[in-house]
Amino acid sequence: MAEPLDVTGPCPPAGHGIAAVARAAGWPAPAARYARTVRHLRPQQVTARVRLRGQRAFTRRFPGTTDRLLRLAAPEIGCWPSAFVPFDGRCAASWPDVAELLDGTLTLLGHPRRLRAPGGGPAELDWAQAGAPLLWRYHLHYWDWAWTLTAHGDRDEARAAFARLYTSWRAATMIDSSRGAAALDGGQAVTRRGRGRGRGP
């Protein structure tokens, strides 16, 4: 182990910094890099690191107590904490008109398109949208537009509408399947891209 850093000696030349001091004291290269990183940390970051290391040490030393504490803080199974609000729910995005969506029309990127013909049922929803631009279809299958249902005054009706839309979409777009790839090119492109993210082509 390297000798402790002597901070009582003469100051290093200006511009060399703490990494130069560490190297001069005989610290190994990784320690010098660590010292160079630490010098840029804000007090809050240092405090967070100390707290994290303390929590890890407590967890290793008292696993039973840690498990009980985590169970006390855990939310009800299957539910988000009551105070949790997703980012999409907090941003002031321009979501599609909820009345139009319930009527079967979805406007994305400024272009309205019919998901179903007037009077048509959920089984008749057109999730392929073959005539739409690829970017429009990408947003269709990204589902961020469904946030507009949270603005509906009738929560039960909004839940029912979401269930109908999702059930229809799930039946029409087979994730990781070549069945109907030509008809569902937009959805297939999105789902395959999502499946392969982080794993290379």
DSSP string computed for 75-117: PPTT---TT---HHHHS---PPPHHHHHHTEEEETTEEEESS-
Mean pLDDT of 96-115: 90
pTM of the model: 0.48
- Counting beta carbons within 10 angstroms of the beta carbon of residue 139, is it exposed (0 to 12), middle (13 to 18) or buried (19 or more)? middle
Q: Which of 11-25, 49-63, 111-125 has the lowest mean pLDDT?
A: 11-25
Reported confidence tier of residue 134, pLDDT bands at 50, 70, 90: very high
What pLDDT digit, counting tens, does each position of 166-189 carry?
998 988 887 654 444 334 444 444
Long-range CB contacts for residues 69-72, cutoff 8 Å, separation at least 24: none
For the segment 37-45, the average pLDDT, to the nearest whole number, is: 82
- 113 falls in which pLDDT band (50, 70, 90)? very high
DSSP H helical ranges for the chain: 17-24, 29-38, 43-61, 63-73, 87-90, 98-103, 134-142, 155-172, 185-196
pLDDT at 140: 94
Q: What is the mean pLDDT of residues 145-169?
A: 89
* Mean of all residue pLDDT scores within the chain: 74
User: How sure is the predictor about 122, in pLDDT bands with cuts at 50, 70 and 90?
Assistant: low
Least confident interval from 10-24, 78-92, 123-137: 10-24
